Amino acid sequence: MGKIKVTFHPEIEGLCVIEPQVFGDERGYFTETYNLNDMAENGLHMVFVQDNQSMSCKGVLRGLHFQKQFPQGKLVRVIKGRVFDVAVDLRKNSKTFGKHFGVELSAENKKQFYVPPGFAHGFYVLSDIAEFCYKCTDFYHPGDEGGIMWNDPDLGIVWPEMDSEPLLSAKDRVQMSFREFKDSFGGFRL
């Protein structure tokens, strides 16, 4: 029996939260953050080709990002601090096209979130700082990035603990609306 608990989203196919088993005592803890056999035992057969890590300050919102021609699946987790992480279904033929799901990820809860190819992804930093790690199923391709506005009313994402405008990159201030995405791309066929 594996050392992870996988909870699949009841409505949005492909999304799942992964909780590793943590072994702790007065000295600290140990956990396996990834095990190919445990993933396969739970029906997860993705292959990762790249690991990334970022650090962000409180109030930073990164996203909602997607890849146009080379969609990536991402297994994301937080190793310091906490974030609210969101995935939006952009798969054209999905019955949940345009629906989203969010989950809090933190160093304390050690949860991981798998976001399959064909989703927009973003996160909002809730702690003073957050270190965010993610495994990707495809390599980074410069010029292949797209994005949807974090506060698009058609998506209706409720970002917790947001008292003021988030800190955004220049590109995230001018992302397209969900409606523009539908008009331009129509959604991803996967």
Closest CA to 48 of 24, 76, 17: 76
- Which conformational region is residue 93 in: left (phi greater than 0), alpha (psi within -120 to 50 degrees), or beta? alpha
**Strand-pair category, 4-8 with 50-57:** unpaired
Residue with tokens 């930093």: 125
Distance CA 110, CA 106 (A): 6
172 contacts 61 by C-beta, under 8 angstroms: yes
Instruction: Enumerate the active-site residues.
Output: 65, 134
